[in-house]
């Protein structure tokens, strides 16, 4: 294995560890966001979303870096490519990285589910606020026969 390939693999593995921590932070925030929609606390909701932004930015950078590493190694940028990297690791590291990869996938799914739910809550929240600010006026017309 070339030095460059080894560096790409090491970087890929380090990103997994770092992203687990980031997704754990994000999961706490998106869970809190869900609760904030239910309490109608716009100020806290805004603060929560501001806290999510830098985490999401870093997660996007990490994802791009993982993609670059996979491309540099000539692998597909999907779970099959990740599995090839993991399976190429020495056995004493492979098991730990497989566990971490599974944990990362689980965190991504959980955050995605909360994000989907929060999107629906956000739409309902904004619709409610819109109705409060501008009530719908029903105009009834008399019809003559």
Spell out the residues 6+ positions from residue 88 whose beta carbon is closer than 8 angstroms to its own: 9
Q: 5-11: long-range contacts (C-beta < 8 A, 24 or more apart)?
A: 5/72, 5/73, 8/69, 8/72, 8/73, 9/69, 9/73, 9/85, 9/88, 9/89, 11/65, 11/69
Report the alpha-carbon distance of residue 53 to residue 56 in Å, rounded.
5
Structural domains of the chain, ranges and CATH numbers in brackets:
3-133 (1.20.58.300)
The per-residue pLDDT for range 14-49, each reduced to its tens digit, is: 999 999 999 999 999 999 998 888 887 789 999 999
Report the alpha-carbon distance of residue 16 to residue 20 in Å, rounded.
6
Q: Encode the chain (145 residues) as per-residue pLDDT tens digits.
A: 569 999 999 999 999 999 999 999 999 999 999 888 888 778 999 999 999 999 999 999 999 999 999 999 999 999 999 999 999 999 999 999 999 999 999 999 999 999 998 888 778 766 766 777 776 555 555 555 5
Report the alpha-carbon distance of residue 145 to residue 143 in Å, rounded.
6
Instruction: Count other Cβ atoms within 10 Å, centred on residue 114.
Output: 19
Report the alpha-carbon distance of residue 8 to residue 124 in Å, rounded.
44
Tokens representing residue 117 in the block: 């739910």
At residue 138, the pLDDT reads 55
Tell me if 18 sits within 8 A of 62, measured CB to CB: yes
């Amino acid at each position: 294995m070339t030095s460059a390939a080894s560096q790409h693999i090491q970087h890929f593995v380090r990103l997994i560890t770092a992203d687990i921590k980031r997704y754990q932070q994000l999961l706490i925030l998106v869970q809190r966001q869900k609760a904030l929609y239910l309490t109608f606390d716009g100020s806290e909701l805004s603060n929560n979303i501001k806290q999510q932004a830098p985490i999401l930015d870093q997660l996007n950078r990490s994802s791009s870096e993982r993609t670059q590493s996979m491309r540099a190694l000539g692998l597909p940028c999907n779970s099959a490519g990740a599995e090839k990297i993991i399976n190429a690791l020495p056995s004493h590291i492979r098991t730990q990285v497989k566990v971490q990869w599974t944990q990362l996938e689980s965190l991504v799914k959980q955050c995605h589910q909360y994000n989907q739910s929060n999107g629906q809550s956000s739409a309902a929240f904004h619709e409610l606020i819109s109705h409060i600010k501008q009530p719908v006026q029903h105009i009834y017309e008399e019809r003559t026969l």
